[in-house]
């Protein structure tokens, strides 16, 4: 492989991963507030179909993206209403929605199957795109990929560097403690679930109007991405930057499966296609290895300085979910 192919490949990973990035960011926000939006897989499909249909009918690509966000926000609203106001199980409601939205997308999307629709074009940024390597990697992408970069930064800054973000962390961790600090817990949970849902909804058109343009119904190949995005959210330890990194890692593993096929001819291609999934699980296990008791014991036996170094490293890697994830908040 030449250097050029590698760079084009990596740039392709960044673009192809944009939808997953939106999905994991949305789910991270929602779960940080304490609400699991399990509908993600269905939401992505429905918003991919809806976004495509609207963009095709109106011939307005921006409207397509907005439709996707609206669909995501509406599905999230159902999750929020059922879990926060009606006090129902988030898992049950989310799961049913995941299935319903998927089937709904196939059913409603029938008239749009295989139609040639609008597609986002690459939008090289003047000057920046001429920087060697970096220009090709980051600045010759399409608009939605740029937005995905910005979204990672924005969400990260929001969660870790702003006052409302601090409160968001508190709401998911211990709502009662956030409440005595002045938070309107349930309102905030609604807001973040809906914003998170809108981001998840952006993932759909990011597929159907950009990286995998068009609507192909059951053979669109989009089914399953939502579930992966859910596990990447966990892998990311509910940290937007880490979750985005997980999305890219998954994209990289998939790409590796593709480019290795002609090289590793003795390995069945199915193995290479499936490999990213167990590899993701393996990474997840490695990242959370600090939770295991034997690691604690091994650490205890190490000399002081080494122990401190590893303890710090493991602490930084370890991801613990917001303690009140999925737990309803009631004012006493």
Closer to another protein at the Cβ: 183 or 229?
Answer: 183
Closer to another protein at the Cβ: 163 or 305?
Answer: 163
Closer to another protein at the Cβ: 161 or 305?
Answer: 161
Name the token pair of 92: 């049950």
> Shortest distance, CB of residue 38 to another protein, whole angstroms?
23
Closer to another protein at the Cβ: 273 or 320?
Answer: 320
Closer to another protein at the Cβ: 166 or 317?
Answer: 166
> Shortest distance, CB of residue 183 to another protein, whole angstroms?
8
d(CA 197, CA 71): 8
Interface with another protein (CB under 8 A): 161-164, 166-167, 169-170, 173-174, 176-183, 296-297, 299-300, 320, 323, 331-332
Q: Which helix (H) or strand (E) holds 155?
A: helix 143-161
d(CA 64, CA 48): 9
Please check whether residue 188 is in contact with residue 182, taking contact to mean a CB–CB distance below 8 angstroms: no
> Shortest distance, CB of residue 284 to another protein, whole angstroms?
19
> Shortest distance, CB of residue 176 to another protein, whole angstroms?
6
d(CA 236, CA 271): 25
Strand partners for 142: 122
> Shortest distance, CB of residue 77 to another protein, whole angstroms?
25
What single-letter DSSP state applies at residue 122?
B
CA dist list (Å): 126 to 121, 123, 142, 215: 15, 9, 13, 32
């Amino acid at each position: 492989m030449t250097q050029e192919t590698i760079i084009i490949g990596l740039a392709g990973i960044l673009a192809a991963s944009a939808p997953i990035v939106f999905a994991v960011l949305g789910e991270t926000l929602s779960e940080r507030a304490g609400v699991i939006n399990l509908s993600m897989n269905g939401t992505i499909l429905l918003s991919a179909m809806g976004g495509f249909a609207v963009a095709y009918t109106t011939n307005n690509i921006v409207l397509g993206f907005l439709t996707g966000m609206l669909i995501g926000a509406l599905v999230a609203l159902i999750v929020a209403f059922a879990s926060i106001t009606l006090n129902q199980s988030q898992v049950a409601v989310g799961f049913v929605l995941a299935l319903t939205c998927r089937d709904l997308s196939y059913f409603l999307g029938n008239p749009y199957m295989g139609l040639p629709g609008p597609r986002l074009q690459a939008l090289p940024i003047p000057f920046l795109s001429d920087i060697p390597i970096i220009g090709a990697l980051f600045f010759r992408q399409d608009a939605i990929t740029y937005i995905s970069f910005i979204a990672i930064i924005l969400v990260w800054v929001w969660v870790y560097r702003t006052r409302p973000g601090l409160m968001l962390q508190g709401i998911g961790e211990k709502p009662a403690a956030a409440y005595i600090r002045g938070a309107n817990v349930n309102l905030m949970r609604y807001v973040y679930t809906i914003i998170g849902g809108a981001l998840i909804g952006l993932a759909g058109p990011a597929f159907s109007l950009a990286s995998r343009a068009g609507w192909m119904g059951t053979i669109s190949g989009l089914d399953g991405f939502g579930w992966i995005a859910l596990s990447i959210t966990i892998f990311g330890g509910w940290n937007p930057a880490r979750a985005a990194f997980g999305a890219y890692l998954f994209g990289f593993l998939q790409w590796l499966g593709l480019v290795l096929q002609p090289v590793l001819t003795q390995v069945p291609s199915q193995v290479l296609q499936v490999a990213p999934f167990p590899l993701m699980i393996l990474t997840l296990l490695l990242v959370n290895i600090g939770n295991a008791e034997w690691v604690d014991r091994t650490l205890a036996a190490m000399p002081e300085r080494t122990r401190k170094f590893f303890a710090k490293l493991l602490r930084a890697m370890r991801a613990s979910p917001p303690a009140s994830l999925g737990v309803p908040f009631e004012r006493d």
